[in-house]
Amino acid sequence: MLAESLHPSLQAALTAGGIDPQKFNLGTPMRGEQPAARPPRSEVFVVGEGDRFATWNVGSLTSLCRGNRQPPEMKDYPPEYVPVFSAIEQRVWFASRVDRAPTDGELEEIYSNVRRRPDGRSLGVTHDTIWQIAALTLGLFPLSAAEFEAVFARLGKSARQWKEGPTSRNYLGALTRMFGGR
């Protein structure tokens, strides 16, 4: 079973910001009531309780991978990986409520790109958001590169399975039912 274990660089960023490592999440820098200009995706904005925040500078996703464990077959979400999938999908769902909700096809493509080229060039705001979600996930869970690839391959498969057409958002609908309580 995977246990949450903070990556040392994430731990250092939280400590520098005075953030409780048990009570933080990915955030969006704000300017008053509006989101501030988006920083580069490598500057992961982390928020804690109250007005505490920190910027975690992530050089690359591949640098956050730990170990050489091989993943199991991922026909479904293996029970020991459910916390990993939940961490990603809950944040993707929340981000879709803040920004424009991506289609199933867009999510399938982004998951595939993050899996195949984790440190490739930015493909836009949604890609950058999912890149930051991936960074935070790797900061929380000690995943090997093989496990990371398998998780994102399975996420891409999930988005593809829900896809009914070029504008369908069924995958996000399923996440809304799971995380939004409807």
pLDDT tens string 12-59: 999 999 998 888 888 776 667 666 667 788 989 888 888 888 899 999
Query: What DSSP state is assigned to residue 36?
Result: P
Higher model confidence: residue 87 or residue 36? 87
Element (H, E) at 34: strand 34-35
**What is the maximum span of the chain, computed from C-alpha positions, in angstroms?**
46
pLDDT at 162 over 50: yes
- pLDDT value at position 35? 63
Query: What DSSP state is assigned to residue 103?
Result: P
**Measured CA distances, 25 to 108, 144, 167 (Å):** 24, 22, 30
Report d(CA 125, CA 175) in Å as an integer: 20
**pLDDT bucket at 88, cuts 50 / 70 / 90:** very high
Average pLDDT, the chain: 89
Could you count the other beta carbons within 10 Å of the beta carbon of residue 62? 11
Provide the percentage of residues in the chain whose pLDDT is more than 70. 92
pLDDT at 126 over 80: yes
- pLDDT value at position 2? 55
**pLDDT bucket at 3, cuts 50 / 70 / 90:** low
The 10s digit of each residue's pLDDT in 46-64 is: 888 888 888 999 999 999 9
Q: Answer yes or no: is 38 within a domain.
A: yes
**Domain, as residue range, for 43:** 8-179
Q: Answer yes or no: is 3 within a domain.
A: no
Chain-centroid distance of CA 65 in Å reads 14
The 10s digit of each residue's pLDDT in 90-106 is: 999 988 887 778 999 99
Number of domains the chain is built from = 1
- pLDDT value at position 1? 37
**Strands 30-31 and 34-35, bridge-based pairing:** antiparallel
Q: Answer yes or no: is 89 within a domain.
A: yes
Q: Answer yes or no: is 42 within a domain.
A: yes
pLDDT at 145 over 60: yes
Q: How many residues are given for the chain?
A: 182
